[in-house]
């Protein structure tokens, strides 16, 4: 099942900087895109990436040890009832 993970750029950058480039987690993170939104007239950026649920679990384990603040965003995407890509069809 494909899920969408969204996190602030500072958490994304910190987690990415902690990953070694040959790990699968790095590849998942490198596929992130920058999402721009206007919130009350201000540009708000976040990083969004899509992966399989099993990849998100691997990413969660890495985030918990490398950069715990990013792990919270991954947990949120994995939580029961969280929207999935299939929900958009």
In 3-state terms, the chain is what percent helix, strand and coil (to 5)? 50, 30, 20
pLDDT of residue 8: 96
What contacts 35, CB < 8 A, 6 or more positions away? Answer: 6, 45, 46, 47, 48
* Average pLDDT, consecutive stretches of 10 residues, N- to C-terminus, the chain (89 residues): 93 93 88 89 92 94 95 94 69
Give pLDDT, residue 39: 83
């Amino acid at each position: 099942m494909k899920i969408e993970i969204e996190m602030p750029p500072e958490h994304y950058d910190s987690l990415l900087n902690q990953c070694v480039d040959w790990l699968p987690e790095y590849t998942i993170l490198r596929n992130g895109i920058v999402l721009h939104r206007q919130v009350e007239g201000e540009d708000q950026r976040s990083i969004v990436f899509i992966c399989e649920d099993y990849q998100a679990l691997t990413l969660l384990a890495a985030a918990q040890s490398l950069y715990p603040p990013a792990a919270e965003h991954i947990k949120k995407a994995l939580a029961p009832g969280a929207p999935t890509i299939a929900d958009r069809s």
